[in-house]
Structure 1
Amino acid sequence: MPAAIALTVILAVLAAFQLALALGAPLGRFAWGGAHRVLPTRLRIGSLVSIVIYAAIAALALDRVGLIDVVPDAVSTIGMWVVFGYFVLGIVMNAISRSKPERYTMTPVVTLLALLSLLVALS
């Protein structure tokens, strides 16, 4: 349960970051490849979609450990393994980013998210 809560808290912080990006904060060097200081419209929309994805992942994790009950157990079990794979792919993508700020900030964050999602998947 602590891993699911920690995962949810980190995702909430990332959701706030993505909301700031979507609203035009000049933090683009930390996301989406780091090519834009202020994101263009299509990437702002991507940031909004990311918030929805983060919420779904948090709900899945909390369901998996029994804090909420929104999907069948098989869905949360398989879903958390998919989330783990998603974050492992995220490690690779952030590690090869051309943006040093993104690479040095987001790679450790996504590594932590992968570890926490693995712990939730194994629970």
Structure 2
Amino acid sequence: MPSRRFGRHPRRGRFGYRVVMASFAIVGVVVLAAFAVLQIALAAGAPLGHFAWGGKHEVLPRNLRIGSAVAVVIYVVFALFLLSKAGLVSVIGDPLLSVGMWVITVYLFLGSVLNLLSPSKPERYAATPATLLLAAAFLLTILTA
């Protein structure tokens, strides 16, 4: 087992450690995919507005539908960051990857707080734990990568 003195992480080469790291990333990608499905449905006019954007509209108005479509693109970018950090794809390189992961993680933790404060009960009860799980997946991927 390599020593930390030589600049190598003692567990990085182990298969089990890599599986754990990849598992965090995969959990995050699954949550992002679920969010993307919701946003696609919202952008298409599905009456699910109580789960997003503060829950004020059952069917989103045009500007929020556009926002939902943009959110899907953002989720794809988030997934690429997560998968790149876990070493499952090689799309984004350092230092953008390291800085971006921390920015996204902080953003997601703040999003969890905002979802918790939402006037919409469905958004509070569904989006808050999902966003918190996603933020934790990002954080754990950072800490284990």
Q: Which residue of 1 aligns with 2:57?
A: 36
Taking only the aligned residue pairs, the percentage that are identical comes to: 51
Structure-1 separation of matches of 2:94 and 2:29: 19
Using the TM superposition, give the Cα deviation of residue 73 of structure 1 relative to its aligned residue in structure 2, in angstroms. 2.4
Structure 1 runs, 4 residues or longer, greater than 3 Å off: none
Structure 2: unaligned runs, 5 residues or longer: 1-21
Structure-2 separation of matches of 1:98 and 1:57: 26
> 1:9-67 deviations in whole A, cap 9, x for unaligned?
11011101100000010000010000000000000000001000100000011111111
Higher normalized helix content (fraction of residues):
1
Structure-2 separation of matches of 1:73 and 1:23: 36
For residues 1-123 of structure 1, the aligned pairs below 5 Å read 1-122=22-143, 123=145
Q: SS of 2:95's equivalent?
A: helix
TM-score, normalising length: structure 2: 0.82
User: Aligned residue pairs: how many?
Assistant: 123
Using the TM superposition, give the Cα deviation of residue 121 of structure 1 relative to its aligned residue in structure 2, in angstroms. 1.6
Is the 1:90–1:110 contact (alpha carbons within 8 Å) kept by the matching residues of 2? yes
Structure-2 separation of matches of 1:72 and 1:115: 22
Is the 1:64–1:73 contact (alpha carbons within 8 Å) kept by the matching residues of 2? no
TM-score, normalising length: structure 1: 0.97
Structure 1: unaligned runs, 5 residues or longer: none
Using the TM superposition, give the Cα deviation of residue 84 of structure 1 relative to its aligned residue in structure 2, in angstroms. 0.6
Structure-2 separation of matches of 1:65 and 1:102: 29
Q: SS of 2:87's equivalent?
A: coil
Structure-2 separation of matches of 1:84 and 1:71: 16
Structure-2 separation of matches of 1:93 and 1:17: 18
Structure-2 separation of matches of 1:114 and 1:10: 10
Q: Highest Rg: 1 or 2?
A: 2
Using the TM superposition, give the Cα deviation of residue 72 of structure 1 relative to its aligned residue in structure 2, in angstroms. 1.4
